[in-house]
Amino acid sequence: MSSFTSDESGVMEPYNDMPAMALAIVGFIIFIAIVAQAYTAYQQKVFIAEHYQDASNLAEKLSKDSAILSGSRTDVIGASEIETISRNPKELIGKYGTYYNFMFKVEADPQGRAYSKVIKDPDIPESRTGVAASVPVTVRLNDVQEVPGILTVRVWRK
- List, for residues 42-100, the tens digit of each pLDDT value: 988 998 888 899 999 999 998 888 888 877 777 888 888 888 888 888 888 888 887 88
For the chain, give the secondary structure using H, E and C: CCHHHHCCCCCCCCCCCHHHHHHHHHHHHHHHHHHHHHHHHHHHHHHHHHHHHHHHHHHHHHHCCCCCECCCCCCEEEHHHHHHHHHCCHHHHHHHCCCCEEEEEEEECCCCCCEEEEECCCCCCCCCCCEEEEEEEEEECCCCCEEEEEEEEEEECC
> In whole angstroms, what is the distance from residue 10 CA to residue 152 CA?
74
Residues 119 and 86 sit within 8 Å (Cβ to Cβ) = yes
Query: What pLDDT score was predicted for residue 9?
Result: 65
54 or 129: which carries more pLDDT confidence? 54
Average pLDDT over the chain, rounded to whole?
Answer: 85
> In whole angstroms, what is the distance from residue 105 CA to residue 119 CA?
6
The CATH architecture of the domain made up of 53-156 is 2-Layer Sandwich (3.30)
> In whole angstroms, what is the distance from residue 144 CA to residue 11 CA?
95
Whether pLDDT at 147 is above 80: yes
Closest CA to 65 of 144, 135, 147: 135
Claim: this prediction has a pTM higher than 0.75: no
